[in-house]
Chain A
């Protein structure tokens, strides 16, 4: 094992051990926050696979998050599915919609790709409102506590919730790490760096991009389904444009193209809003100023900056 590989394993393994251990020492408020952050970081990790490693900027990822959320929620509310099956339905729906979007959106490039993904997400949002008889439109609906039991554990219980969130995060984290280290991941990076060159080297770029979108959508849907299960609510606001912008912000802050970046960016943004809202009612102004400063002085994000300055080996 090379030195860089050892360092990488130590760092990423250490983060997982720290996240596991924190549940025993954190006060109740931060315990709950971290569970939420881990689930949302999984969403950001899915986004990062597409944006950070493949170089495709989607402005419609809320569609995939909402597909997981509603796939899970509607499977329960409309068909009485159990928790495990509903979770599976959510993830499958996200992957399916990811595939459909990929087939159509990959006919475009760059700005057009951004606009097409944005439009698909908006269509998804309006579809949720249109079928209000089932989705309860913008109000959304509650997943009853009795239905939120997985493998015999009540997911509304703080310990179970944290552990489930940790498990979801582990899945996305390990998957991203292995993709990045794999031959497949290296081709994605090659596409990001120079798509023409990758094509000239004989790679089927369209196939790789398709796979990247489906994988990214699947992770986002897993996060959405888990979010609904853990916090008991399914609502259309999670399909709105705002929730397509959030993962972009989190990834940019944490460091696009770094495996740890989504976690760092999500946690940073969460606490930036949370702490500044305790200081002033103009907390969005504080958040905005901090974001501008970070963009100016750490344009590659927090982890990206660490990689540029100190940790060249950071995946």
Chain B
């Protein structure tokens, strides 16, 4: 939220003509000034350096590309608006190869070589968990955009925060009421046999049971699997809903083989869009998904009731109404996640302004300022929707979206409340020393 200072007026009142003349002169002069001079009002015109840990290579590269574009767009906007505390924002990017070892090295590089003010932007959970200990030891505020439950679980440390994207535990449990009320109560879950899949297995099973439903079968697919037909006979015949969260390049094969297995007589299907992020829904083999449902962190397709904030966000990042790049309609975005970079940078800006952040000596004050945040209203800074930040668990909570595939597009059918995503606190980071 922006606060305006009131300045006492002294001496002669200026006329309207004087004011307009001054504004015109000032505007023209500002436009003619080099970028650094526009920030000269701050105590220092040194940029605020944000170390951006980007997955440029490795398994996270598709996400990294869009996280990069979104981060650049958010930084450009913040700088157009005068930067942070009158200082420009500079994004210092380093590829972590989607590898936890390199991730930790990159965090060290941010803190001790680039002299960054914060670290930011990590998505893949194993990279976050591998890097966070070093961020804590180096006392580098580390703003992750991961959706993992690792922050709120208490596994990490006080210097690691996730204020721009909700976590998988809240996402999954918020889906259970919709699934039970609209699709069915007898579920078969198909998920990858690693931590992300296990999170879905554990959280959704508990959540659907709380809704009076049950999971008939858990089908864990080994991560090295390339063909899935042999797993489908394990799906019980009385299954009403297949819950699937297959991540990785094999998803197209998975959907195609599932379609061939069931033919036109299939149960209801509910999936997490993570499987299809950066994948064009028009890809051959995905026709079988028509009429099925997805969780989306942010609806990829511009909806009829699209907010002005979403329109603004799309326009600034360069995403069309179908969720693809404006320069290449086949280049599908990671729309359900990438808003997190945009929102996190705006939280950083708000936190630094609230803390009067001047440099690394104020890092602890920045952490405390973010911990003190609660309401984040739906706005250009938070285009995905309103959010509530929990300063104790360092995790933000927000609306979740359910969309249905209709004629190859994802149409919004349900929006959860923020309260649907709550669960009891598992940690209080504010008790840890800074």
Which A residues are within 8 Å of any B CB, using their own CB? 27-29, 32-33, 36, 126, 129-130, 132-133, 136-143, 145, 156, 231-233, 235-238, 242, 273-274, 277, 281, 283-284
Contacts and interface: CB of A to CB of B under 8 A. Distances in A.
A140 B130 contact: yes
Given A27-B112, A132-B194, A132-B198, A145 B129 contact: no
Given A29-B108, A145-B136, A277-B95, A139 B101 contact: no
Contacts of B193: 129-130, 132
B132 A142 contact: yes
Contacts of A233: 100, 104, 129-130, 133
Nearest to B95: A277
Nearest to A270: B105
Nearest to B94: A277
B57 A129 contact: no
A274 B109 CA distance: 9
Nearest to B100: A235
B155 interface: yes
Given A36-B105, A129-B223, 14 more contacts: A29-B112, A32-B108, A130-B193, A132-B194, A132-B195, A138-B195, A139-B148, A139-B194, A139-B195, A142-B129, A156-B133, A233-B100, A235-B130, A237-B100
B43 interface: no
Nearest to A32: B108
B113 interface: yes
A235 B109 contact: no
Contacts of B133: 142-143, 145, 156, 231-233
Contacts of A32: 108, 112
B198 A33 contact: no
Contact of A232 (B102, B134, B148, B195): B134
A139 B150 contact: yes
A315 to B, nearest CB: 30
Contacts of B108: 29, 32-33
Nearest to A238: B101
5 contacts: A27-B113, A129-B193, A138-B194, A233-B133, A277-B95
Contacts of A129: 193-194, 222-223
A137 B222 CA distance: 12
A136 B155 CA distance: 12
Interface string B85-96: 000000000110
Contacts of A133: 198
Interface of B: 56-57, 94-95, 99-102, 104-105, 108-109, 112-113, 125-126, 129-130, 132-134, 136-137, 148, 150, 155-157, 193-196, 198, 222-224
B96 to A, nearest CB: 10
Contacts of A273: 102
Contacts of A242: 99
B134 A141 contact: no
B112 A138 contact: no
B367 to A, nearest CB: 17
A284 B61 CA distance: 14
A273 B125 CA distance: 23
Nearest to B102: A273
B134 A235 contact: no
A156 B137 contact: yes
A172 to B, nearest CB: 19
A163 B134 CA distance: 17
A139 B125 contact: yes
B148 to A, nearest CB: 7
Nearest to A158: B137
A236 B137 CA distance: 22
A133 B137 CA distance: 27
Given A138-B126, A140-B126, A140-B130, A145 B194 contact: no
B20 to A, nearest CB: 48
A284 B222 contact: no
B145 to A, nearest CB: 16
B65 to A, nearest CB: 11
B194 A281 contact: no
A133 B198 CA distance: 9
A130 B195 CA distance: 10
Given A129-B223, A238-B101, A283-B95, A231 B134 contact: yes
In this complex, which of A132, A232, A238 has the most chain B Cβ atoms within 10 angstroms of its Cβ?
A232
Contacts of A141: 129, 155
